[in-house]
Amino acid sequence: MRQHTQVALLAALISATAGAQDVSVYSTTMAQMYQQNVPGFDKANLLPATEYLAIDATKLGSDRLSLHLYGWGYTDLQDQSTIGGKTAGNLTYGYLQYNFDQANAVIKAGRFTVNQGAGNEQVDGVSARTDLVNGFYVSAFAGTPVIFKNLDSYPQFDLAFQRNITFGARLAWRIPKMGELAVSYLQDGTATPSLNVNDPVDYTRRQMGVDLKLSPWSMLDISGRTLFDLAKHDNLLPGTDTSNIAEHDYSATLKPLDSLSFTGSFVERNFYAYYAGSTLPNLFDMNEKGLFRATGLSATWAPLSGFQIVADVKRTDREEYGTATRAGADLRYNFTKAHVLTGFGYHKINAFNVIQVDARVPSYSISHAEWRAWAMVESGKLSATIDAIRLHYSAAATNPFLYGKAFETQLVGSVGYQAATSFKVSGDLSVEDTPLYQKQVMGILKLEYRFGFSFKGGK
């Protein structure tokens, strides 16, 4: 969509909120201050100012009609802080929604994100869902994918994979006292004509998903999905061995006690099928034939009120690169009376032989350890937080991306003052010492406003 059309649409949508009976506005204004010092680049003094704005306007003429908007814009007050220019903005979503008082039926129109079994898409279009009889429900969407256009100075070849329309549907069956089973489908349209792309390969996505959530007993919960790639891939040479199964992603949780639960997980992804439809093929190579597999186990134990410990281990295998194991634990303790919440975590990642990364360094270790400690405290209108992260890389001497540095540290402190129910001012100070940035100090001043009648917001 052209920029002036977006601005006109946004203005029309915002003006529509004037007719709403309940309007909630969430605004966050942030000013960051830091000096960037990256090896090989000029030093830069950065002062970007960013505004996030969200509006939820309900009861627009009808109790069931609502408008939802969320976007951001920033401008650099000193040196340019990111690629693309000193100002930028984005409308993340902006849609009208009608909720029917029967069958959980909903219709949306505008820009929104679709999240269904097959399909996690940001589109400009329409969507609808409704419950059916006998425990079935159906949802569907269609629209134009939101294009994140590359800079003019960069090659536009990524857009060869951008399609002019995408659509999908999901049919689910809710089984009483058991859970839910669903099947979903997603398909792209043809290449966007205005891009004038003459590519002999058809990258149109055709995906089918199966997802489930089963809980036959309260102590057992199984969730997951399988994603199939149904595209023809006529460009493949005869006899090429690829799987049509893009992804298996499943987890099962067993809860023998209220205070104790165990979760096992399994993930398998075939790159060729999983990367179908990527708009960033130079990073996610759609011709890669590798396989990724991960298996994990975690235990959550809450022996005391406010205290929780999660121990976890996960093994990952990537065919071309090797095996890694991540194991560790996270603790949380809530000192309720003192309004203090604390956490501590430690994880060790063993990955001794990552292979074929660079012809000069064919194999090196990416093993490392992670420590994290954090705390939050509230006292009346004042609040404060601290968050410390420390990484220790095992083979800094052989990993060409660590510049010989074995440690990475980041410390973030924040102090806030809730001046009124709807207004908070806070300041963050971050100090970090990393292989890439060496030493960097960043300050952030943040102003938050929340106006409205709704108490939603996701705390």
Vertex 258 angle, CA 252 and 260, to 5°:
60
| Segment 259 to 318, residues that bind other proteins, using CB under 8 A | 261, 263, 269, 271, 274-275, 277-280, 282-284, 292, 294, 298, 300, 308, 310, 316, 318
Closest separation between CB of residue 161 and other proteins, Å? 8
**410 within 8 A of 430, measured Cβ to Cβ:** yes
| Segment 411 to 440, residues that bind other proteins, using CB under 8 A | 412, 414, 416, 426, 428, 430, 432, 434-437, 440
Task: Report the alpha-carbon distance of residue 327 to residue 17 in Å, rounded.
Answer: 50
168 binds other proteins (CB under 8 A): no
Task: Report the alpha-carbon distance of residue 410 to residue 34 in Å, rounded.
Answer: 14
Closest to other proteins by CB, 198 or 218: 218
Classify residue 14 as left (phi > 0), alpha (psi -120 to 50) or beta.
alpha
Q: What is the biggest distance separating any 2 CA atoms in the chain, rounded to whole angstroms?
A: 70
26 binds other proteins (CB under 8 A): yes
Binder of other proteins out of 13, 32, 203, 273 (CB under 8 A): 32
44 binds other proteins (CB under 8 A): no
206 binds other proteins (CB under 8 A): no
Closest separation between CB of residue 231 and other proteins, Å? 15
123 binds other proteins (CB under 8 A): no
376 binds other proteins (CB under 8 A): yes
**415 within 8 A of 5, measured Cβ to Cβ:** no
27 binds other proteins (CB under 8 A): no
Binder of other proteins out of 72, 266, 423, 449 (CB under 8 A): 72
17 binds other proteins (CB under 8 A): no
Residue 349, both tokens: 């990642």
**283 within 8 A of 272, measured Cβ to Cβ:** no
Residue 152, both tokens: 């003019």
Closest separation between CB of residue 377 and other proteins, Å? 11
Binder of other proteins out of 82, 190, 235, 398 (CB under 8 A): 82
User: What DSSP element (H or E) covers 7?
Assistant: helix 3-16
Closest separation between CB of residue 3 and other proteins, Å? 14
For residue 231, give the nearest of 270, 183, 186 by alpha carbon. Answer: 186
Task: Report the alpha-carbon distance of residue 276 to residue 278 in Å, rounded.
Answer: 6
Closest separation between CB of residue 355 and other proteins, Å? 10
Task: Report the alpha-carbon distance of residue 300 to residue 84 in Å, rounded.
Answer: 44
User: For 67, what's the count of Cα atoms within 13 Å in the CB-facing half-sphere?
Assistant: 22
Stretch that binds other proteins, among 2-10, 67-75, 189-197, 229-237 (CB under 8 A): 67-75
Long-range contacts of 79-84 (CB under 8 A, 24+ apart): 79/44, 79/45, 79/46, 79/47, 80/44, 81/32, 81/36, 81/44, 81/46, 81/48, 82/48, 83/151, 84/151
Stretch that binds other proteins, among 6-14, 39-47, 233-241, 364-372 (CB under 8 A): 364-372
207 binds other proteins (CB under 8 A): no
Residue 359, both tokens: 């012809």
Closest separation between CB of residue 238 and other proteins, Å? 27
Binder of other proteins out of 45, 62, 90, 379 (CB under 8 A): 90
Closest separation between CB of residue 105 and other proteins, Å? 7
| Segment 180 to 199, residues that bind other proteins, using CB under 8 A | 180, 182
The three-state secondary structure class of 86 is: coil
Task: Report the alpha-carbon distance of residue 37 to residue 41 in Å, rounded.
Answer: 7
Closest to other proteins by CB, 8 or 175: 175
| Segment 148 to 167, residues that bind other proteins, using CB under 8 A | 148-151, 154-155, 158-159, 162
